[in-house]
Structure 1
Amino acid sequence: MTSNKLRLVIVLWRTKMTTKIDVFKHIKYDTNYFVSKRTLYPYIVQIGTGGNGTYILQQLAQMLASFNLPHSYIACDPDICEAKNLRNQLFIEADVGKKKADVLARRYSAHYKLNIASYSNQFVENMETLKNLFSNTDHTPVGYNDIVHLPILIGAVDNNYSRRIMHEYFKQADNLLYLDCGIEGVSLVDNASSEEELEKSRNSGYTGQVVAGLKLNGKTLLEPVASVFPDILDDQDEIAPSELSCSTVVASEPQRVITNRFAAMALCSFLNELFETHSITKHQVLFHAKKSYMRAKPIPSE
């Protein structure tokens, strides 16, 4: 078999074995009304505006403006911008001393003319806070059957404490797209005894993944990150974010800028497909920033 024929066989096999989830077909409507065309209304709550979060917010804001979608977007993070953040996050010198979420929400709301709000009072460390963030309907169109309201939770955090809170929220939600991105930190080596240890450190901090959890009409269609990686739920000794600053975590396991950007690109690829086709065709995206490698794990057919 020639290489071209082999490639064709592989493409056809992948197409046959994968599934597309059409969001519009899974959400209930009022059948008393006929609507020829529906519009997606993403209600986005993003937890974390640090290394991954800054790039996610910028890319997603630009995408929302490009698709010209009605929307609500809340960026949540009480962390304060420090001078060292200027090297690897989307801040400028004038932002130092200000809360990251407030800065980014104002900047990209103004630049792209969007509805981006910020919640910077405290860390999201309980279900009640998360429920309240999704209950703000000031900008949500009401009374229009052609508007499909979809809550979207974005986890851009570096701790499993927050992931457990988001997992619990996913379990009780009727409709929710939950996107979580996680990356590998750089393995620091003090007083390396061999070139092998140094090489291991140099090659670390480049990998990561994004996992999509999807629940529509109370039915889980895609398992969330804590179900894919159950050790997240077993990690009961994790310290709450309010007790351990993001800067402290990053100092022990620093992140690479290129990996942060890959994480944002991988996460936004889910939303680009959703905004354009109202569907989702992948469950996970794995990437290696140093090797310029990104691979989607499609939704298997039932």
Structure 2
Amino acid sequence: MGNVIDLLKRDVKYVNKPTRKKLYPIICQVGVGGTGSNLAQQLAQMMALFGQEGYYCLADYDEIESKNLRNQLFVESTVGKKKADVLAQRYSAAYNINITSYSEKYVEDVTTLFQLFNIDYERLKGNSSDYCILPVLIGCVDNNYTRQIFHQMFEQVPNILYIDSGNESAIVPSDFPQRPKEEWTEEEWSTYNESGWTGQVVCGLKLNGTTILEPVGTRFPEILSDKDEIKRPSEMSCEELSSSDPQRLLTNRMASMAICTYITELFECGTISNSMTVFHAKKGYMRSESISIE
């Protein structure tokens, strides 16, 4: 049996108050592509369903392209618009909650990331001891440069829940999509069919300056290495950005679902019981690693 971290349990000095604190998450989700667009719908619906107070910001500089319609939650009429703006407006209206968006530029420095969490805490009702005010950073990006920025923030703040999603891309021929699939070799087909199905979600947690659960950059140190060789998203050419390996629809949806298992437990129970989840979309399984604290 693993441990459970209870974020809403009161300190002893507040024993005369109600037993549990109220959760007030300050959620910033960076990336609203294949995984992130699915997550935005699910998370917005959960906030409305559970009557969850909080702040939710979607951040992504990218514009919607026709190719995105294959595995992201956009339609033809939205092509050319900013992904984050479209989803924030859509789900604010659909679920009658306030969702903000940031699409001015890529999140490429920790200062920008901090600004996305800059809200007026004074608008909270009641005494601050009645609330667990928790910054929640959700990474749905496909590059390690941005993950390094996320890691910097994790190291600099006293309290944060950092959930990161990473998916395996499908391996396709170098001349994809110019050469149709009918012309692929047996080896190319085999490689494609066996790739792009897996992924993981890592949950990092820091409370009162102490790291309780290691973030993805610590669990997978290669993310933080070779800093000089990793390009900023803004430095990549249009060809580099558009030639990225494709991701599978079901893989993206399982990644978003894996993230939702953490968010659902947080919203409904105020607890965290897992530190990492791995999944395989083709085999149809999802397995979580329970928290183990000495």
User: Fold-level match, TM-score > 0.5?
Assistant: yes
Contact 1:160 1:235 in 2 (8 A): no
Q: Is the 8 A contact 1:72 1:140 kept in 2?
A: no
- Greater CA drift, 59-68 or 235-244: 235-244
Query: How many Å apart are 1:64 and its aligned residue?
Result: 0.8
Task: Say yes or no: does 1:185 pair with 2:177.
Answer: no
Matched position secondary structure for 1:53:
helix
Partner amino acid, structure 2, of 1:54: S
TM (normalized to structure 2)?
A: 0.90
1:205 corresponds to = 196
Verify the 8 A CA contact 2:78 2:86 in the aligned structure 1. Answer: yes
Map of 1:62 onto structure 2: 45
Deviation at 1:44, TM superposition (A): 0.2
Q: CA deviation at 1:259?
A: 0.4
1:298 counterpart = 2:290: yes
Distance 1:196 1:134, change over 3 A: same
Superposed CA RMSD in Å reads: 2.2
Q: Aligned partners of 2:122 and 2:285: how far apart in 1?
A: 39
1:152 aligns to what SS in structure 2?
strand
Q: Report the Cα offset of residue 224 of structure 1.
A: 0.2
SS in 1 for 2:172: coil
Equivalent residue number for residue 9 of structure 1? none
Stretches of 4+ moved more than 6 A in 1? Answer: 27-30, 191-194
> Is 1:235–2:226 an aligned residue pair?
yes
Residue 186 of structure 2 corresponds to residue 195 of structure 1: yes
CA 301–175 in structure 1, closer or farther in 2 if over 3 Å, else same? closer
- Identify the match of residue 132 of structure 2 among 144, 148, 153: 148
Between 97-106 and 35-44, report the one with greater CA deviation.
Answer: 35-44
Q: Please state if 1:261 is matched with 2:253.
A: yes
SS at match of 1:52: helix
Partner of 1:120: 103
Q: Look up the equivalent residue of 1:97 and give its one-letter code.
A: G
Matched, 1:91 2:57: no
Task: State the partner residue of 1:176.
Answer: 160
Question: Map of 1:14-25 to 2, 5 A cutoff?
Answer: 15=1, 18-25=2-9
* Per-residue Cα deviation, 1:113-140 (whole angstroms, up to 9, x for no partner): 1110001111111111111111122785
- How far the C-alpha of 1:148 sits from its partner, in A, is 1.6
Confirm or deny: 8 A CA contact 2:28 2:59 kept in the other structure.
yes
Unmatched segments (≥5 aa) in structure 2: 176-182
Contact 1:185–1:204, Cα closer than 8 Å, also in 2: yes
- CA offsets per residue over residues 86-113 of structure 1, 9 Å max, x none? 1111011111111000000000011001
For each residue in 1:271-299, what CA deviation from the matched residue of structure 2 results, as whole angstroms up to 9, or x when unmatched?
Answer: 11111111111100000001101100111
Q: Does 1:271 align with 2:274?
A: no
Note the C-alpha offset of 1:38.
2.1
CA distance in 2, matches of 1:274, 1:21: 10
User: Unpaired runs of 5+ in structure 1?
Assistant: 1-14
TM-score (norm 1): 0.88
